[in-house]
Amino acid sequence: MALDEREVQREMDAAAHKLRKEKKRTYGIGLLKGLAVTLRHLFKHNTVIEYPDVKQDLPSRTRGVIALKEENCTVCMLCARECPDWCIYIDSHKETLPPKRAGGRPRKRNVLDRFAIDYALCMYCGICVEVCPYDALFWSREFEYAEYDIRELTHEKEKLSDWMATVLPPPALEEGALLPGQPEPPAPAAPSGDGAAAVPAGDTGAAEMKPASAARPATQTASAAEVRPEQAADAPKAPSAVQEPAGSEHEQAPAPAATSATQVEEGQPPTKAETEAPAGSAAATEPEAQTRAVRESGDSPSATARGEATGEIETPAPAAVPTPTEDPDEVYETVLKDQLEAGSSPQVAEARAKVARVKAERGVRRAPTPIETEKKVPSAPVTGHFTEPVPGGAPAAEEPKPEQGPVEPTDEEKGPDG
């Protein structure tokens, strides 16, 4: 404990301290200084925010209240189960829907009857938002929901759904941020590189609006631009595996066969549109525009986009592929065949096949929760439902492991001195 340099430092500090104490006999100088400090503040510009009249622009990550996107909820009960203080109440019933195609089997579906959060119990930990696999729960920065009676703090799904309108899209990430094994950061560069005209337009439109949201598209493009060289430097670490899942997942995306896939596919983009809607700005529609642009550009838009964004990364990439044990596409085909032969409906078969393919890609042993989605990141509007790990979500964080392998050592080498 008592290292030599520590001792020396202690001596020095003690000496400095003594000096300070010597200043004890100042006879009123300190008092006058104190008076000067307070007097200076009398004439300083006041930074008080007069709350009910003026509202603070809170960050979009603010954990104010939990909003519910009702149509995304499949009553999987994960949130209620994971909640540390059991403040989520869910009631539901099963509903049988007629088969989609003639001769198909009637489908069963959970219908949400009641979704309530007791905010008197809630401790705002956000676990429910994290674990929700279907993007049904969001944090809103709303905070004015006080009630006169503690019982009224149990807010039902109507109120929770109303808050959906106040949910902001997540912020762009800080420079140098890299989601593990995922080259999503450059994704926004695609529209900016492809249709450069679209972004400035959105940008100028945004400038007139709320600064918080307006800044986002701009920073996104900026981030992409800045991040690129860095990525180039880290070329070997950028796993080409991501390309493949990206492509493959995109193939799946337009095929809304499985219920879960449907929900994600339909649910995700509108979420963004909706969340942006209150801002009502050009910026708000921007992500959606991006989304659409990406989606409309064909079957493998993300591949092209990615190719442009990551540029030279593409070439060295295959070398770094953490080779899956089986070829995912083969797995897909076999599973699809097996399933169809086993009598599953085409939709179910397709869904299972996809799951199997993803599993094969990742070498995952355990069955994952139905679908992991990347939440609320406008930078990746369509792609990556399967491969994208939720940045913070513990469950999602697990999958990208193999892809992440090559990332680490390089990072570690350059990290500390950087």
Partner 1 sequence: MTQIRTPEDVAREVAEGGLATQQMILNVGPQHPATHGVFRLLATIDGEILAEAEPVIGYMHRGYEKLVEARDYRQITNLVSRMDWLSGFNNELPLAMALETLMEIEVPPRAQWLRVVMLEMNRILNHLMFFASFGAELGAITPTFYAFREREDIQLAMESATGGRMHFGFMRPGGLKEDVPRGFIAQALKSVRQVIARLDQYEDLLVGNEIFKQRTVDVGVLSREQVMSYGVSGPIARGSGVSDDVRKDEPYLVYDRFDFNVPIGHSGDCFDRFWVLVHEVVESARIVEQAIEGLPAGPVLGKVPRVIQAPEGEVYVRAENPLGELGYYLASDGDRRPYRLKIRTPSFNNVSVLPEVLRGTFVADMIAILGSFFFVLGDIDR
Partner 2 sequence: MPEFIQNFELTAWWILAIKLIVVLTVVPVGALAGGYALHKVMAHLQHRLGPMYAGGFHGWAQTLADGIKFVLKEDIIPEKADKPVFKYAPAIIFIPILLLYLVIPVDRRLIVQDLDVGLFYLLAVSSIPAIGILMAGWSSANKYALIGALRSAAQLIAYELPIVLSAATVAMLAGTLSVVGIVEAQDWPFLFWPPGIGLIAFIIFFAGSVAEMNLPPFDMPVAESEIITGAFTEYSGMRFIFGYFFAETAHMIAFSGLAVTFFLGGYRPIVPWEPLTVIPGIVWFMLKLFVMVFLYLWVRPTFPRLREDQLQKFAWKGLIPGSLGLILVAGAWILYAPEWLWH
Using CB under 8 A, which residues numbered 77 to 96 contact partner 1? 82, 84
Can you tell me which of 22, 28, 54, 341 binds partner 1, judged by CB under 8 A?
Answer: 28
The angle subtended at Cα 217 by Cα 296 and Cα 408, nearest 5°, is 90
Residue 223 binds which of partner 1, partner 2, none (CB < 5-8 A, kind-dependent): partner 1
Query: CB 223 → partner 1: shortest distance, Å?
Result: 6
**Which residue in the set 12, 15, 35, 111 belongs to the binding site for partner 2 (CB under 8 A)?**
35
β-pairing verdict for 107-118 and 65-68: unpaired
Give CA–CA dist 339/326, Å, rounded. 18
In the complex with partner 2, the residue whose CB is nearer, 26 or 204, is: 26
What's the DSSP call for residue 152?
A: G
Residue with smaller CB distance to partner 2, 20 or 45: 45
Residue 42: name its binding partner from partner 2, partner 1, none (Cβ under 5 to 8 Å by kind). partner 2
Task: Check residue 341 for interaction with partner 1 (CB under 8 A).
Answer: no
Q: How far is the CB of 109 from partner 1 (least distance, A)?
A: 27
Site residues for partner 1, window 153-172 (CB under 8 A)? 170-172
For 5, 131, 340, 357, 379, the CA distances from 404, given in Å and listed in that order, are 41, 22, 34, 19, 20
Q: Is 22 in the site for partner 1 (CB under 8 A)?
A: no
Task: Give the CA distances from residue 352 to residues 68, 270, 333, in Å, rounded to whole numbers and listed in that order.
Answer: 28, 25, 11
CA distance 159 to 116: 9
Q: Which of 42, 102, 146, 367 contacts partner 2 by CB under 8 A?
A: 42
Using CB under 8 A, which residues numbered 311 to 350 contact partner 2?
A: none
Segment lying near partner 2 (by CB under 8 A), choices 28-36, 142-150, 191-199, 346-354: 28-36
Q: In angstroms, rounded to a whole number, what is the distance separating the alpha carbons of residues 123 and 283?
A: 33
Q: Give CA–CA dist 151/136, Å, rounded.
A: 24
Does the protein bind partner 2 through residue 34 (CB under 8 A)?
A: yes
Nearby residues of 295 by Cβ (< 8 Å), 6 or more positions away: 254, 269, 301, 382
Write out the residues near partner 2 by the rule CB under 8 A: 31, 34-35, 37-39, 41-42, 44, 46-48, 50
